[in-house]
Amino acid sequence: MDECESESNQRLWSHQYVAQMRQLLGTDVCRKLAIFELPEDFLLSVVVPVFNESGTVAGVVQRLRATGLPMQIILVDDGSKDGTFEAISGMGDDPHVIIARHDQNRGKGAAIRTGFEKATGDVVVIQDADREYDPSDFRYLLQPLIAGEADVAYGTRYGHYDRQLSPWWHQSMNGLITLLASIAIGIRLSDVETCYKMVPRKHLEPILPKLQESRFGIEIELTARLARQGLRFTERPIRYQHRWYDEGKKIGWKDGVGALWCILKYGVFRF
């Protein structure tokens, strides 16, 4: 993406552009299209846990920049062995990119916790380093937070039409885990395992010292600890392009068992 395109995308969030769109389209249409103005000096921190994603991480960073959002990108290399760290090292020259590294692979949850500790933005969101998720959907997650209509926004991959169909076993297992987590935690979600969890940093700070999970169990733990604060959750539909294990997908059946344990640990026993 060149400098002219970047500046053009940044204007999409300006007061002038939003006012023009409201005049042309009307307030209701702008709301449905998630056309809104960002607060002055707003910053979104995007935490990107990276493990053996040398072939995709550069493209993901490019897609993040293409949103035009004022953004801090935090890349956490979780002990990659495929040249990922070398692929992202040059990105550290950008003042808006922070690079952290684990000498050994510690798990997605550990990488997320490292990224959270380095975040300084008003709002924090997680972005996988593959191409399953599209960061252009950030605008739909940000909208209720900026409007003060919700405290936490999750992107849901299911229950809407604009998505690639996942294998039946993948969606069924996710549905079971989400149902059990909803019962144990006390909020009705449709996709607790979604990557796109967007939270104002002021709501993350009280729970950062308590986060324990180093693998995919962070999805359940984070949800449970946020819910205990009495925060208002909302879900927004997002696009999702499922990838297969031969393409680098890492979550497996053991993580499903781990998720069930985390539901008991953080939902029922409230650790």
User: What is the pLDDT at residue 165?
Assistant: 67
User: What is the pLDDT at residue 138?
Assistant: 98
Residue type, 261: W
What percent of the chain clears pLDDT 90, i.e. is strictly above it?
Answer: 78
Interval 103-130 mean pLDDT: 97
User: What is the pLDDT at residue 267?
Assistant: 96
pLDDT digit string (tens) for 120-134? Answer: 999 999 999 998 999
Of 43, 48, 44, 136, the residue nearest 91 (C-alpha): 48
User: What is the pLDDT at residue 242?
Assistant: 72
Of 180, 168, 250, the residue nearest 220 (C-alpha): 180
User: What is the pLDDT at residue 160?
Assistant: 66
Alpha-carbon distance of 81 to 103, in angstroms, equals 10
Interval 41-67 mean pLDDT: 96
48 burial (CB, 10 Å; 0-12 / 13-18 / 19+) is: buried
Of 197, 264, 259, the residue nearest 231 (C-alpha): 197
What percent of the chain clears pLDDT 70, i.e. is strictly above it?
Answer: 89
Number of H helices, E strands in the chain: 11, 7
Question: Hey, what domains does the chain have and what are their CATH numbers?
Answer: 38-167+193-215+231-245 (3.90.550.10)
Phi, psi of 44 (to 5 degrees): -105, 125
Above 90 in pLDDT, residue 262? yes
Mean pLDDT of the residues in the chain: 91
Q: pTM of the prediction?
A: 0.92
pLDDT digit string (tens) for 197-243? Answer: 999 999 999 999 999 999 999 999 999 999 999 999 999 999 988 75
Above 90 in pLDDT, residue 137? yes
